[in-house]
């Protein structure tokens, strides 16, 4: 989805102004067609990998609360609680903004509760009718997601479940849907260093009201020098009902207090294929972690950027 922001005044002549308005009208029509199939609008805004940097969603634990895989919120001793913030912004041509806050609290040795709130919106969607002339204010388009879940750990297995409520606004339309998700991470497969994970995202008991996404990923150590340097490589898959899927090859590195990740994504949506490079880098110190991420755009659109901050309490 490409959303064009048109905030410039009549500074370059009427011809150029009219061409921009015509282009905006076409984009607005495309957007209307895309969201018409969504009984609860805004599902497409949650295709961005918020809070994952360059890790695959099923394995990502950079952000607290396990948005993409509830199992990743499981805390182990001596950690008692954690909270964090993640934000993602896209180029001006898209105008999409996403934010998330989350928290985790270890209830007992194997059990962790989590709570998160995510919000996504698009700015400057111009209102038009049968001609390219704008009709005043922009069209509000956004969605919010409230999640609460539980995660547990036993030896090398982590599992988690989450109940979610998503509500959205498209112009004068307001609607919502309840979803339930589950995930698991196995840190060692058959006594090998292979790690596997799988999860669902926005799975609705009312299957006709939401497009669920299914994630799976696996990785293994490529280089391991005690706990000082760890380099892992892996592969991930995802599929969203009614939209398409993604293949993702990635690598993650941890060196003392530094983290880095990189990967190449090939995604298919509505018959269109795009390749993107993702990069992430972070720093951990005294329970605090900060990280930034970058993902290439597609179809001539610039890159999107992420920021992440977390705090672990012992």
pLDDT beyond 80 at 290? yes
pLDDT of 30: 39
pLDDT in the model for residue 92: 83
Say what the pLDDT of residue 136 is.
57
H-only helix segments in 5-108: 14-36
Q: What is residue 16's predicted lDDT score, i.e. its pLDDT?
A: 36
The 10s digit of each residue's pLDDT in 58-111 is 999 999 999 999 999 999 999 999 999 999 999 988 889 999 999 999 998 899
Is residue 250 a contact partner of residue 57, using CB atoms and an 8 Å limit?
no
pTM, rounded to two decimals = 0.84
Q: In terms of DSSP H, where are the helices of the chain?
A: 14-36
> In this predicted model, what pLDDT tens digit does every residue of 231-282 receive, in sequence order?
999 999 999 998 899 999 999 999 999 999 999 999 998 788 999 999 999 9
* pLDDT of 20 higher than 80: no
- What's the pLDDT at 3? 39
Mean pLDDT of the residues in the chain: 86
Question: Which structural domains are found in the chain, ordered by start?
Answer: 40-125+139-313 (2.40.160.40)
What token pair was written down for 181?
């998700």
| pLDDT (0 to 100) of residue 288 | 98
């Amino acid at each position: 989805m490409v959303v064009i922001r048109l905030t410039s005044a009549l500074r370059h002549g009427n011809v150029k102004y009219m061409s921009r308005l015509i282009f905006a009208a076409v984009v607005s029509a495309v957007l209307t067609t895309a969201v018409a199939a969504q009984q609860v609008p805004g599902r497409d805004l949650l295709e961005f990998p918020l809070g994952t940097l360059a890790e695959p969603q099923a394995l990502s634990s950079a952000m607290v609360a396990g948005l993409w895989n509830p199992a990743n919120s499981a805390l182990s001793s001596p950690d008692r609680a954690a909270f964090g913030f993640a934000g993602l912004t896209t180029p001006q041509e898209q105008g999409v903004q996403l934010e998330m806050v989350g928290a985790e609290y270890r209830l007992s040795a194997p059990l962790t509760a989590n709570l998160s709130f995510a919000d996504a919106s698009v700015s400057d969607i111009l209102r038009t009718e049968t001609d390219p002339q704008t009709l005043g204010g922009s069209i509000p388009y956004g969605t919010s997601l409230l999640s609460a879940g539980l995660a547990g750990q036993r030896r090398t297995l982590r599992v988690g479940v989450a109940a979610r409520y998503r509500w959205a606004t498209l112009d004068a339309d307001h609607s919502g849907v309840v979803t339930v998700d589950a995930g698991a991470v196995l840190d060692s497969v058959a006594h090998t260093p292979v790690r596997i994970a799988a999860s669902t995202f926005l799975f609705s008991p009312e299957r006709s009201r939401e497009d669920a996404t299914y994630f799976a990923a696996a990785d293994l150590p490529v280089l391991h020098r005690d706990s000082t340097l760890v380099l892992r490589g892996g592969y991930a898959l995802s599929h969203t009902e009614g939209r398409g899927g993604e293949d993702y090859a990635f690598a993650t590195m941890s060196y003392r207090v530094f983290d880095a990740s990189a990967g190449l994504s090939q995604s298919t949506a509505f018959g269109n294929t795009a390749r993107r490079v993702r990069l992430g880098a972070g720093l951990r110190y005294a329970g605090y972690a900060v990280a930034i991420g970058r993902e290439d755009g597609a179809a001539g659109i610039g890159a999107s950027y992420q920021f992440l901050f977390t705090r672990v309490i012992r």
